[in-house]
Structure 1
């Protein structure tokens, strides 16, 4: 039988809801087990490579099947009991059932596979830098809120592949200092009877609970995200929270009135205390606001600093341009090492914070400009000998890549949170003559399939 005909026959042989056995041979980019049934690839969340599992067909696509895990008939030695009782329903974590050493091997292999499969690059991939704390590491939580049909407040992350909230009171990957606040804050919000409507389907109200803690300082910010500010008694409740928990240095209200999936709106108002918390990063004092982008795993992010400083310092008197610099998280340590650094950032509020952080730490070699990286990178590359990029998951935009290739800096440090787009971009840079050093994965997100990488490139 022709392979395509056999595949079609296989698709008709299984019905939705039917169970079948499958052997798992790999791991997908979302942490799901990957196997085969006849000629079709099967994705089974919760299954591990090497296991034979019983799965229930949930969805048929043209070239693959999606199934739910029913049982594990032949478990892998790496399988363990998850730390969270909600792990089978909550979509926040995908690898809690896998031992930490095995997670490290799987993530390193995911990076290697992406480079080979997507860019045909046979690069050395160093062993991943594992987290000393695989639980309790997240310094920030953005928790959706809703009310049940009976009016009960729910707070929790979404079920995998849906917008259905899995109600929770604790989350083991959160820093314990903010994890402990979820249940009592939920109870207080329940008592207010304020409208709660994360999807804006019932007229609006509270949408998210945002919690942030300084990993080193211990200071905490509480932020409520709402579609409006009609929340009677909010100021009194904010004062109560600060009195009850001395570590809470501020309570804020963010307004997000639009019916979309963007969590934070453009306007944040200080309700009580401060609008920022004090944190230390790589020995430098930072002010971090409720809506500031900052790496969620402080300890692991700090491990990147020596790599970047050593790389850029190899070229004496190097001038470093950092695109997407945020509040200067990496620019400041580079300037402290004696490098001239110019950071580019689109958000003016972040630029203002970065400048204040540079002044606070007495680092005149760190300068920051409000600029659209897409539009201005080519101009700024005429000044810089080295480039640091930390783009979003979609990687470098075509305009950014074009600017780099037209005025190629001698050195590039590329921090990536997506091995697929990293592979794509490294393929283009390699073809343009850049030599790529061994890739360094770093586990910023234990218990998930996400992996951060640092790629160091140079050219003559």
Structure 2
């Protein structure tokens, strides 16, 4: 497969490599990591996706102007904040590409001043889109430097009229000099601030900042494999750390006696509780707390778990987390 801006964008470095070769390369990379860490681990063949295009359910684009002062949108070039025009990106669902193009055209027509990170001037910083694959619901987040957004009502009306799949529109205010896209303050302009997908037979609702696996179909494979490997028994108690909106724990709830999900993000915990309720799951509880601290408290009060699941942030977990998890002496630890 070819892409006109592949070398400029840098987002798909293996785009031209056949799927079978990609799988072999990835298996070799993980094998090398294990060897370098002196771990005797057999690395199984990589389970590849049926489709490697049109899958991304979360897209963030920036904006810039070309030499003719025409506004375009796209992804950043590697290790920079230089926006590359990635209109029609093959990694994005067609619907999201159409919405991005519509927003870009509308932004140009409404003459919004683009944010300049060097001068700190301008209004529009980014647009974030989230897509629920099985329900086709879309969330649109306009990231602005100020609360003021002239004509936002007209903008929203035009957007939802053109795309009925857009179920909620949010304005996130980010006045800071930072590369972090979303900040804490948001205004819901349309809908209820959430969209709902179906995952592993469950209804899963999430907000703009909540973690949700980027590839829906691969996520179902991943969670199915996790459940298979854990081989839970009806009396087992499961601790789901870094639980986010509860997806992993909720998919395990029907195979064990109880699930406890722990997540430091309070909004994510509210999502998780909501997701348990809307699926009628009564044996799952969720706690807003640091996972390591929760396990230390659990040990202090002699609480026990048969299985501990962790799917940590990209930076990974800590030595303190590992020691706290081992101190609870679970039968199994599943690390995603």
Contact between 1:325 and 1:344, CA under 8 Å: does it hold in 2? yes
Determine helix, strand or coil for the equivalent of 2:172. strand
Determine helix, strand or coil for the equivalent of 2:176. coil
Partner of 2:13: 94
Normalized against structure 1, the TM-score is what?
0.69
Determine helix, strand or coil for the equivalent of 2:135. coil
Among candidates 390, 396, 412, match of residue 311 of structure 2: 390
Distance in 2, matches of 1:396 and 1:371, equals: 15
Runs of 5+ in structure 2 lacking a partner? none
Shift of 1:316: 4.6
Partner of 1:404: 325
Distance in 1, matches of 2:238 and 2:116, equals: 42
Partner of 1:367: 285
- 1:120 matched to 2:38? The reply is yes
Determine helix, strand or coil for the equivalent of 2:11. coil
Partner of 2:84: 166
Distance in 2, matches of 1:216 and 1:307, equals: 20
Normalized against structure 2, the TM-score is what?
0.94
Partner of 2:94: 176
Determine helix, strand or coil for the equivalent of 2:251. helix
Partner of 2:231: 313
Determine helix, strand or coil for the equivalent of 1:144. strand
- 1:258 matched to 2:165? The reply is no
CA deviation profile, 1:68-117 (whole Å, cap 9, x unmatched) = xxxxxxxxxxxxxx432110100222111211111111111111111112
Partner of 1:290: 208
Contact between 2:232 and 2:255, CA under 8 Å: does it hold in 1? no
Partner of 1:230: 148
Distance in 1, matches of 2:78 and 2:220, equals: 30
Query: Between Structure 1 and Structure 2, whose CA radius of gyration is higher?
Result: 1
- 1:330 matched to 2:248? The reply is yes
Distance in 2, matches of 1:113 and 1:245, equals: 47
Runs of 5+ in structure 1 lacking a partner? 1-81, 416-460
Shift of 1:293: 1.3
Distance in 1, matches of 2:316 and 2:190, equals: 38
Shift of 1:200: 5.6
Distance in 2, matches of 1:247 and 1:309, equals: 32
Partner of 1:106: 25
- 1:144 matched to 2:65? The reply is no
Distance in 1, matches of 2:185 and 2:159, equals: 22
Distance in 2, matches of 1:148 and 1:397, equals: 45
Kindly report the root-mean-square deviation, in angstroms, between the aligned alpha carbons of the 2 structures. Answer: 1.7
Partner of 2:4: 85
Contact between 1:90 and 1:160, CA under 8 Å: does it hold in 2? yes
Distance in 1, matches of 2:328 and 2:118, equals: 46
CA deviation profile, 1:308-328 (whole Å, cap 9, x unmatched) = 223333445111101110010
Distance in 1, matches of 2:256 and 2:292, equals: 28
Distance in 2, matches of 1:89 and 1:339, equals: 51
Which is further off, 198-207 or 347-356? 198-207
Any residues of structure 2 matched to 1:58-73 within 5 Å, and which? Answer: none
Any residues of structure 2 matched to 1:216-227 within 5 Å, and which? Answer: 216-227=134-145
Partner of 1:301: 219
Contact between 2:242 and 2:262, CA under 8 Å: does it hold in 1? yes
Determine helix, strand or coil for the equivalent of 1:331. helix
Distance in 2, matches of 1:289 and 1:314, equals: 30
Distance in 2, matches of 1:223 and 1:243, equals: 17
Which fold has the larger relative contact order, with Cα–Cα distance below 8 Å and residues 6 or more apart in sequence? 1
Change (3 A) 1:282 1:224: same
Shift of 1:364: 0.7
Higher helix share: 2
